[in-house]
Amino acid sequence: MAEPARGPGRPRDNSISERALTATRELLVERGFEATTIQAVAEHSGVHASAIYRRWSSRIELIEEATFPGLNPVSVRPAGDLRRDMSRFVRAYLGAFSAPAARAATAGLIAHHQTSGRSRPPELYLRVSARPQFREILSAAPPGTVDPAVDPDDVFDMLLGAVLSRTLLADAAAPQRPVGRTVDMILRLLRPLEGDGAGAGGRQ
Amino acid sequence: MAEPARGPGRPRDNSISERALTATRELLVERGFEATTIQAVAEHSGVHASAIYRRWSSRIELIEEATFPGLNPVSVRPAGDLRRDMSRFVRAYLGAFSAPAARAATAGLIAHHQTSGRSRPPELYLRVSARPQFREILSAAPPGTVDPAVDPDDVFDMLLGAVLSRTLLADAAAPQRPVGRTVDMILRLLRPLEGDGAGAGGRQ
Amino acid sequence: MAEPARGPGRPRDNSISERALTATRELLVERGFEATTIQAVAEHSGVHASAIYRRWSSRIELIEEATFPGLNPVSVRPAGDLRRDMSRFVRAYLGAFSAPAARAATAGLIAHHQTSGRSRPPELYLRVSARPQFREILSAAPPGTVDPAVDPDDVFDMLLGAVLSRTLLADAAAPQRPVGRTVDMILRLLRPLEGDGAGAGGRQ
Amino acid sequence: MAEPARGPGRPRDNSISERALTATRELLVERGFEATTIQAVAEHSGVHASAIYRRWSSRIELIEEATFPGLNPVSVRPAGDLRRDMSRFVRAYLGAFSAPAARAATAGLIAHHQTSGRSRPPELYLRVSARPQFREILSAAPPGTVDPAVDPDDVFDMLLGAVLSRTLLADAAAPQRPVGRTVDMILRLLRPLEGDGAGAGGRQ
DNA sequence: TGTTAACCGAGACGGTACGTCGGGTCTTCCG
DNA sequence: CGGAAGACCCGACGTACCGTCTCGGTTAACA
């Protein structure tokens, strides 16, 4: 967004960045995270490796930008209709991780960030901007729609299951579970208990 | 399990395997998945690298055996009390992933298996023997306790969220969310809808 | 020499050339031939590398100009007094190589010119204008002073030993052998043999 | 000489060392010192670069061993006949530097050792074991043959001129000046002055 | 009591990727 | 047009792991 300052010196050739990012995504899909080395990207894209190092300080940063550019996967204004809002949110949230390259990269990125430097918190990719958004949607829901006894964070963790099970674990070739089913599950979790609330949940 | 044939020749020194596995776990915790190389394990354990290659054909196999030996994380006989059975199951299931070394290895192993060889299906570590077990518990529940409209696989995916969010994303130093909360969530999902069942779930 | 045409446009800043050459000499002395890269000169002098490339087409040319500008190390008119003429010549000749920067550069320049391009003949730095001059001095010597059986080139080669042993091989910190000793050696070589000339030299 | 200890572990493949050294010499002659990189040696010899790094810690060490193995160029027992002894010595000494690969490497090696580390003194290649040897020959000469007023080191420096002028400066294709001429020059330097010794050389 | 076969350590081997640095060329902005 | 800045391709550098291999030297079970 916005040209990068444009000072003196030869400007960067944008097509080089694009070629590198595209090649990165292709390699992620075709050969996987481990094989997506800077050398391989250079060879596959025709860009010289040093031009890649000039832009990204490591292969991790390259892969991050190729798969999660900007890092703001979800941005939905709640309208007050719980099912409708949730449906849009889940669709957008899942969408950020459903691109083939993102699917191929997520586990590797998490593995990397669990350890080194902790430059970015490991859960960045999955929670950032999404968890607050999720809470916002719940706040906007009509009174009586959401059980106040339920912790939104607990529900959000459940939603993560749907995301990660599709992203990391499901066979890439298999058909994805439809999004609507996941929304139903979330709504089930939020629904207030009838009667006295002594049914399933309540303790602990 | 079962001694390895025991023909002529010098038998393997079991203490070497143990030292290697222990060092592997220590390195996973202290330095993370990427830094847990065979060379590092050799150096840290005092075992020579070739003795490690004699036992495990790659660093991935070494890490797998060090963190998920046997690969049967859960084994619970359902007793028919849904809350009680589910509580024991979730506790056992989470337990398999809560060891520090397993936490440090899971993402890396998933990343590896997403691609290469597909020797083992990627979701192995998380579903194997657990998904059928989960269904079994639901089957054993008293009639009327579990909504027949709910797909057990959808619920299981939600449970994965609780597992993975603790395993991969949460800060290792932060306190873990208590297991009971997760069990409540699962039971909420399974609870039949009052009235006609056309409430929250049903469409799509 | 002579201003460079002075057409339209901004004239060259001469101080830049000087700063670069000075920095080159300093780097040669402080860090040696290999470390005297164009990048290092740019950094050390505050002159941008591209301004250096505008003036010299390679680092070799830069170093050459910094250490042997003009390439006419010796220029002595012989007066006919052999010892006096030779003394002045040797002093001037050695002087051309005794500057610290020249000492540090000579071997590297020779190594470069042995191979590449042969743009300049490799022995340039050591013989050009000096070998003819040397012969001239011998011609100007009074008859009977110089043995006609001696090949001036052979003697000049010997003189090179004194030069190179000081330039390339002697420890920079060690005291230099005095010039007079070298002159004595040269004169010994030139002195005619007494008697029949059947003494030391003569055959071959 | 003498097998290299033969400890445990897989022994080194000697043919690899030989192939590398041979390729190094070939590249020195054909492409020169600067182009004799470890990569080029690897490619030209078919030996993998890592096998080269296992034996030599830098390209300088590789080139040193390829051109001056053992570093004892001269080893002559003086017999007491000055001309004969000197002739054998000069022949051997020149021989050490006359191999085409040595000619191509010497200047570069000197340039390198002038600076870095000073692991080996720069003049090593030219003086080691030769300067003492030279003095020994002079000592063994019959009395009256060598002028005691002459400093052997001064004479040796002159000899270096003959060596270096052939090694570094002469065109590789040109015919070499015959060795006998150089021996004559040396003997001229050593010859005692007739009469009182106050002739050509004396003081200063 | 030997054989024999597998173990163990050590370390060489050909590979691949890493990230850095220097080389020259070229392109842009500013004075 | 000169000068600073910096991107561009290129290639060498030396390090670290990978997984395979060949050794010399144990160490047991078996004949």
pLDDT in tens, chain A (204 residues): 444 556 777 889 999 999 999 999 999 999 999 999 999 999 999 999 999 999 999 999 999 999 987 655 556 678 889 999 999 999 888 888 888 999 899 889 888 888 754 445 444 555 556 888 888 899 999 988 899 999 998 999 899 888 888 878 777 667 778 889 999 999 999 988 765 444 444 443
Residues 45-74 of D with CB under 7 A from strand E: 47-51, 54-55
A128 and A46 assigned to the same domain:
no
Interface test with A, best of B109, B128, B185 (most A CBs within 10 A): B185
In a domain, D58, yes or no: yes
Residue A43 lies in a domain: yes
| Residue A11 Cβ under 7 A from any strand E atom | yes
Residues D56 and D91 in one domain: no
CB within 8 A of D170, min separation 6: which ones?
C123, D176
In a domain, A36, yes or no: yes
The answer to whether residue B53 sits within a structural domain is yes
Min Cα distance B64 → chain A (Å) is 15
Give the residue-averaged pLDDT of D159-174.
78
Give the CATH number of the domain where residue B85 resides: 1.10.357
pLDDT at D47: 95
Residue C131: how many CA atoms within 13 Å on its side-chain side?
16
pTM of structure: 0.82
H, E, C per residue of D65-99:
HHHCHHHCCCCCCCCCCHHHHHHHHHHHHHHHHHC
Would you say residue B189 lies in a domain? yes
Question: B167 versus D174: which is more confidently predicted?
Answer: B167
Buried b / exposed e over D168-201, threshold 16 CB at 10 Å, is: bbbeeeeeebebebbbbbbbbbbbebeeeeeebb
Verify that D78 and D171 share a domain, yes or no.
Answer: yes
pLDDT at C1 over 60: no
D89–chain C nearest CA distance, Å? 17
* Same domain, yes or no: A29 and A87: no
Give B-chain residues touching A191 at CB under 8 angstroms.
188, 193, 199-200
* SS3 category, B77: coil
Q: Is C154 on the interface with D (CB under 8 A)?
A: yes
C179 and C88 belong to one structural domain: yes
The one-letter amino acid at D79 = A
| Interface subset of C 78-107, CB within 8 angstroms of D | 103-104, 107
Q: D119 and D179 share a domain?
A: yes
Find which nucleotide's C1' atom is closest to D47's CA.
Answer: E14
- Residue in C116, C178, C202 closest to D32 by CB: C116
**Is A45 in the same domain as A114?**
no
Distance in Å from E17's C1' to B107's CA comes to 22
| DSSP letters for B26-56 | HHHHHH-TTT--HHHHHHHHS--HHHHHHH-
Cβ distance D58 to D37 under 8 Å? no
What pLDDT digit, counting tens, does each position of C131-167 carry? 888 888 999 999 888 999 999 989 998 998 888 888 7
In a domain, D121, yes or no: yes
Contacts of D151 in chain C (CB under 8 A): 181
Together in a domain, B127 and B62: no
Lowest-confidence range among B127-131, B156-160, C21-25, C107-111?
A: B127-131
Cα separation, B33 vs B105, in Å, equals 6
The amino acid present at D60, given as its one-letter code, is I
Q: What are phi and psi of D28, to 5 degrees?
A: -55, -45
Measure CA to C1' and name the residue nearest F29: B8
Contacts of A34 in chain B (CB under 8 A): 111-112, 115-116
Residues A142 and A186 in one domain: yes
Nearest to B32 among A115, A157, A165 (CB): A115
- Last residue of a domain, which of D49, D67, D85? D67
Where among D41, D67, D93 does a domain terminate?
A: D67
* pLDDT tens per residue across span B29-71: 999 999 999 999 999 999 999 999 999 999 999 999 999 876 5
Among B67, B101, B127, the domain-final residue is B67
CA of B7 to C1' of F30 (A): 9
- C95 and C142 share a domain? yes
The CATH number of residue C32's host domain is: 1.10.10.60
Nucleotides of E under 7 A from a protein CB: 3-31
Question: What are C63-84's pLDDT values in tens digits?
Answer: 989 988 765 555 667 888 999 9
For residue D70, the 8-state DSSP code is: G
Give the count of domains, chain B.
2
Instruction: Specify if B200 maps to a domain.
Output: no
Q: How far is B26 from chain A (nearest CA, A)?
A: 13
User: D93-111 pLDDT, tens per residue?
Assistant: 888 888 899 989 988 988 8
Q: Give residue D73's pLDDT.
A: 53
- The residue segments making up the domain with residue C127 are 73-193
In a domain, C97, yes or no: yes
The alpha carbon of residue C12 is apart from the nearest alpha carbon of chain D, in Å, by: 33
Tell whether B155 and B127 lie within a shared domain. yes
One domain, residues B82 and B178: yes
D79 phi, psi to nearest 5 deg: -105, -10
Token pair listed for A94: 């899942």
pLDDT digits (tens, 9 = 90+) for D34-71: 999 999 999 999 999 999 999 999 999 999 999 987 65
Q: Tell me which range, A42-51, A131-140, B176-185, B192-201, is most confidently predicted by mean pLDDT.
A: A42-51
